[in-house]
Amino acid sequence: MLDDFSTPPDLLAAKQQMIQKDLRGRGIRDEWTLHAMARVPRERFVPVQSRSEAYADNALPIGLGQTISQPYIVALMTEMLQLTGAERVLEIGTGSGYQTAVLAEITREVLSVERIEALSRRAAEVLGELGYANVTLIVGDGTLGYPQAAPYDRILVTAGAPEIPRALTDQLADGGILVMPVGDDDSQCLQAVRRRQDRLLKTRLTPCRFVRLVGEQGWPEGD
């Protein structure tokens, strides 16, 4: 367990409202997810100019055409993974590192792949300052996963693609769960996939909108 993070007084009320209204109030029930969301200092993962909005329930730009997801979506996707605390998790799309930190609060190990090196370096700096020792960051094509360390108990994809990359389902352990947004630019839906030996059981959940998952098995670069 990491040392407790203190929320600055000017953001404390906003953080408490996020937990009670935006998460619990919208149906998030998993206590481990709620505890992780309460602990992680989101203000450390947003640009300085957006600090006052750190606990507003909306996505925020983090530069290089990427965003930090709204807290409710971060909590929902984390809850959908049905974590018990013992899992090795592969995250595709490190971005700011915020979702990475939430996962690291709960799970045994997180490996996170980011295609934009500058974002990965920035996330590594913040995660290191906060003391997360169970996180490994990788720069590469997230649509191909990270086969060197497969299989994974859980896979979380924080960008949308028309289809779930085959490389990712191939790296999912038997009984494992993969969660990602699937669809085009205008219409995406969060999907949860559970592997049962050679079968993939898919569940469609809620509409959403994420940035593109760019790579060999996702959207083409510059498309």
Active site residues: 69
* Neighbouring C-alpha atoms within 13 Å toward the C-beta of 107: 28
* 113 phi-psi bin (left φ>0, alpha ψ -120 to 50, beta other): beta
d(CA 28, CA 40): 17
Amino acid symbol at 10:
D
Q: Contact at 8 Å (CB) between 60 and 50?
A: yes
Query: How far is residue 63 CA from its own chain's centroid?
Result: 17
d(CA 7, CA 178): 32
Q: Contact at 8 Å (CB) between 115 and 140?
A: yes
